[in-house]
Amino acid sequence: QQQVKQSPQSLIVQKGGISIINCAYENTAFDYFPWYQQFPGKGPALLIAIRPDVSEKKEGRFTISFNKSAKQFSLHIMDSQPGDSATYFCAASSEGNTPLVFGKGTRLSVIA
């Protein structure tokens, strides 16, 4: 049973465009939602994270939008650049120091 469903599996965006990656979850106990970015040959690294007490969090060109009632959250990359080409993973965890649960990842390619 997949606890965090991520889509799309792959995404091609023109330079300067907006990249949008979506995640959905079922477990209402989840209350921490990070996004990780992974470049080829590297381990994932934390990009941005949100808690459900806010509906949006922005850091530079990266924004997380959170819809608690729909149990969905998404990553928006504004003004996408070729350097943003990477695999992005959404994740979630709940209280009790439980392990992070990851989505299956989205491979983003930003083309000039």
Partner 1 sequence: EAQVTQNPRYLITVTGKKLTVTCSQNMNHEYMSWYRQDPGLGLRQIYYSMNVEVTDKGDVPEGYKVSRKEKRNFPLILESPSPNQTSLYFCASSLSSREPLGEAFFGQGTRLTVV
Residues of the shown chain interacting with partner 1 in the complex, contacts defined by CB under 8 A: 6, 9, 31-32, 34, 36, 41-46, 49, 51, 89, 93-95, 97-100, 102-105
* 76/26 Cα distance (integer angstroms): 21
| Choice between 17 and 48, CB closer to partner 1 | 48
| Choice between 1 and 69, CB closer to partner 1 | 1
- Nearest residue to 88 via CA among 18, 34, 50, 27: 34
The token pair that represents 70 in the structure block: 């729909």
Q: How far is the CB of 71 from partner 1 (least distance, A)?
A: 18
